[in-house]
């Protein structure tokens, strides 16, 4: 299981750091968003204060998971049902904010990030906790492409009575799976800082945000190698930075020896080929959600066009692994990564010019 693989990698890093003889952060774990969650807090305060704040974080994660679940009954499935029926529906202010933000990200990425493709995700069987190795019928993919649903086709109206959402395209179905973990990182950071906890590491299935330091030392995180169980590289995160990875090893199935990941290209209706993984590092406002969202268009753009997409997204810290195993890294990130040996050898690195 992909989440277990990532979790074992996180455990490897924790053991490596624990061997240094430093004080150990207070650590809490949970399972939400279909993955393992870990919050480490490195503060010299009463443990009860830390546990109370982290409990708020985990409760918020659970609320978000239940509210925006794409296939179990939720506020999101109610909205999708209304859109499928051609109805105009009232939504919460939080839902409206998420939709408007997603529309902006979709426009910025030229539609390569598009939470409006929920029915395509369902066609591929990824609207489930477990999925079979089964290809959808080409005719079903072609029918979906012909209808061309997109989050851009949502009409969002706000007045004194609230916010209303509608679409003329009844094939639009929303899925926040490409952004919700990042949004949750931002929420967690806000909750911890409000509680006076400014030194923490939040890990939601490999989407990670750092606050402050680990008792004066930088938070160190491992970047998963896409084709073996171990770290490709280790990175020290700075205060307020977040890192996210999209990979073809996280949710996928194989048919006749070919891998089909959950990262779907809205232009073709098929999983994006040519890439094993993309990792980015971002900082500043909304670092969490940007670290989650912006890996998707970089992955879907493919090995030939990802650098142009990175420029469009103003992404300067990118680690890209193509389907042949070529490792490329932007100059801004290269000096911060400590690549790890595998089978006694370091990977060959293609360093890109600024």
Domain of 134, CATH number, reads 1.10.3980.10
Same domain, 326 and 216: yes
CA diameter of the chain: 65
Smallest CA-to-CA distance from 246 within 310, 312, 178, 188 is with: 178
Report the alpha-carbon distance of residue 330 to residue 182 in Å, rounded.
22
Is 153 among the domain residues?
Answer: yes
As given in the structure block, the two tokens for residue 189 are 């950071």
* CB 343 within 8 Å of CB 336: no
Same domain, 10 and 117: no
* CB 225 within 8 Å of CB 218: no
Same domain, 261 and 339: yes
Same domain, 130 and 86: yes
Same domain, 150 and 16: no
Is 48 among the domain residues?
Answer: no
As given in the structure block, the two tokens for residue 31 are 């399972």
Binding residues, as ranges, are: 178, 292
Is 68 among the domain residues?
Answer: no
As given in the structure block, the two tokens for residue 268 are 């073709």
The last residue of a domain, from among 127, 149, 167 = 167
How far from 60 is each of 33, 86, 87, CA to CA, in Å?
Answer: 12, 31, 30
Smallest CA-to-CA distance from 222 within 210, 214, 230, 234 is with: 234
**pTM, full prediction:** 0.94
What phi and psi values does residue 287 have, to the nearest 5 degrees? -60, -35
Same domain, 16 and 130: no
Same domain, 236 and 340: yes
* CB 178 within 8 Å of CB 156: no
In this prediction, residue 11 carries a pLDDT of 45
Smallest CA-to-CA distance from 352 within 322, 323, 324, 320 is with: 320
The last residue of a domain, from among 143, 167, 191 = 167
pLDDT per residue rounded down to tens, the chain (354 residues): 444 455 445 544 443 444 456 799 999 999 999 999 999 999 999 999 999 999 999 999 999 999 999 999 999 999 999 999 999 999 999 999 999 999 999 999 999 999 999 999 999 999 988 888 999 999 999 999 999 999 999 999 999 989 999 999 999 999 999 999 999 999 999 999 999 999 999 999 999 999 999 999 999 999 999 999 999 999 999 999 999 999 999 899 999 999 999 999 999 999 999 999 999 999 999 999 999 999 999 999 999 999 999 999 999 999 999 999 999 999 999 999 999 999 999 999 999 986
Binding residues for Mg(2+), as ranges, are: 178, 292
**Number of domains comprising the chain:** 2
The last residue of a domain, from among 109, 144, 167 = 167
* CB 323 within 8 Å of CB 274: yes
Is 133 among the domain residues?
Answer: yes
- Please report which helix (H) or strand (E) contains residue 122, including its range: helix 118-123
Is 57 among the domain residues?
Answer: no
Smallest CA-to-CA distance from 167 within 182, 147, 191 is with: 147
Same domain, 141 and 244: no
- Please report which helix (H) or strand (E) contains residue 51, including its range: helix 47-67
Same domain, 30 and 111: no
Same domain, 163 and 299: no
Smallest CA-to-CA distance from 175 within 70, 316, 281 is with: 70
CATH (domain of 271): 3.10.520.10
Q: Are strands 337-339 and 327-330 parallel, antiparallel or unpaired?
A: unpaired
Note down the domain range covering 121. 75-167
Is 63 among the domain residues?
Answer: no
Same domain, 150 and 12: no
Is 312 among the domain residues?
Answer: yes
Report the alpha-carbon distance of residue 159 to residue 238 in Å, rounded.
41
Same domain, 243 and 333: yes
Q: 């997603």: which residue's tokens?
A: 102
In this prediction, residue 186 carries a pLDDT of 99
How far from 285 is each of 95, 108, 185, 203, CA to CA, in Å?
Answer: 19, 17, 12, 18
Is 186 among the domain residues?
Answer: no
Report the alpha-carbon distance of residue 323 to residue 325 in Å, rounded.
5
β partners of residue 31? 36
């Amino acid at each position: 299981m992909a989440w277990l693989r990532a979790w074992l990698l996180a455990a490897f890093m924790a053991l490596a750091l624990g061997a240094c003889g430093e004080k150990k952060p207070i650590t809490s774990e949970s399972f939400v968003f279909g993955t393992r969650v870990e919050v480490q807090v490195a503060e010299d305060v009463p443990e009860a204060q830390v546990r109370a704040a982290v409990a708020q974080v985990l409760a918020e994660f659970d609320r978000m998971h239940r509210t925006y679940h794409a296939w179990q009954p939720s506020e999101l499935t109610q909205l999708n049902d209304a859109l499928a029926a051609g109805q105009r529906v009232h939504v919460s202010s939080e839902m409206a904010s998420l939709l408007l933000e997603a529309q902006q990200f979709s426009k910025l990425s030229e539609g390569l990030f598009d939470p409006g493709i929920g029915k395509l995700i369902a066609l591929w069987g990824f609207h489930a906790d477990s999925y079979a190795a089964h290809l959808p019928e080409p005719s079903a993919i072609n029918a979906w492409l012909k209808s061309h649903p997109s989050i851009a086709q949502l009409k969002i109206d706000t007045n004194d009575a609230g916010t209303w959402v509608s679409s003329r395209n009844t094939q639009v179905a929303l899925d926040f799976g490409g952004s919700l973990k990042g949004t949750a990182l931002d929420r967690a950071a806000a909750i911890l800082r409000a509680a006076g906890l400014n030194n923490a590491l939040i890990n939601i299935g490999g989407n990670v945000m750092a606050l402050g330091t680990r008792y004066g030392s930088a938070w160190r995180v491992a970047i998963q190698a896409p084709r073996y169980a171990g770290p490709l590289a280790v990175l020290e995160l700075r205060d307020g930075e977040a890192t996210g990875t999209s990979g073809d090893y996280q949710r996928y199935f194989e048919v006749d020896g070919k891998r089909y990941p959950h990262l779907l290209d809205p232009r073709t209706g098929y999983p994006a080929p040519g890439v094993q993984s993309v990792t980015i590092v971002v900082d500043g406002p909304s670092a969490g959600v940007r670290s989650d969202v912006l890996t998707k268009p970089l992955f879907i753009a493919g090995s030939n066009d990802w650098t142009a997409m990175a420029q469009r997204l103003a992404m300067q810290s990118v680690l890209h692994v193509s389907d042949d195993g070529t490792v490329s890294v932007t100059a801004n990130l290269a000096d911060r990564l400590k690549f790890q040996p595998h089978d006694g050898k370091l990977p060959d690195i293609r360093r890109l010019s600024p």
